[in-house]
Amino acid sequence: MKKVIEVVGAIIVAEGKILCLQRGPGRSLANYWEFPGGKIEPQETPINALKRELTEELLIKVKVDENIYESTQYEYDFGTVHLTTFVCHLISGQPKLTEHIANKWLPTKELATLAWAPADIPTAKKLVNNGL
């Protein structure tokens, strides 16, 4: 049985657009697009993990909506990723790329133009079809 990796993702909203990040070469899922976030550490709540990851990776602070927007699971060769996404609103800072090679702020209808990492596809589709 593959290892289950608990991760959180952020649907960061600012001025009616959503932040999308592209993974860099040499990493798993290189060049795919994803919602920012990362692994939940032991003893950490999903929301606290998300705030920590966004501070570490993008040097920003956000307000996280309490309700889960989407919960998905995808089996990769390295393990099964259980991804929980939350809608977030930018409070301070402008995202600075420390682990990704590109970013785009897109309206929901344009999210389908990107090549998403498989675990992020259900969230992207839900946003395209239903909005926020």
Q: What pLDDT does residue 70 have?
A: 93
Dist CA 29 CA 45 (whole Å): 25
Helix (H, G, I), strand (E, B) or coil at 112: helix
- Model confidence at 115, pLDDT cuts 50, 70, 90, reads very high
What spatial distance separates the first Cα and last Cα of the chain, rounded to whole Å?
35
pLDDT digits (tens, 9 = 90+) for 121-132: 999 999 999 988
pLDDT digits (tens, 9 = 90+) for 11-50: 999 999 999 999 988 888 889 999 999 999 999 999 999 9
pLDDT digits (tens, 9 = 90+) for 82-104: 999 999 999 999 999 988 999 99
Higher pLDDT residue, 77 or 110? 110
Contact 31, 106 (CB under 8 A): no
DSSP codes of every residue in the chain = -PPEEEEEEEEEEETTEEEEEEEPTTSTTTT-EE-SEEEPPTT--HHHHHHHHHHHHH--EEEEEEEEEEEEEEEETTEEEEEEEEEEEEEE-----SSEEEEEEE-GGGGGGS-B-GGGHHHHHHHHHH--
Q: What is the percent of the chain with per-residue pLDDT over 70, rounded to a whole number?
A: 99
pLDDT(55) > 80? yes
Please tell me whether the overall predicted TM-score, pTM, comes out greater than 0.75 for this model. yes
Per DSSP, 99 falls in state S
pLDDT(67) > 80? yes
Q: Which of 16, 68, 75, 15 is nearest to 37 (CA)?
A: 68
Q: What pLDDT does residue 84 have?
A: 97
Q: What pLDDT does residue 2 have?
A: 80
Domains and CATH numbers, the chain: 4-130 (3.90.79.10)
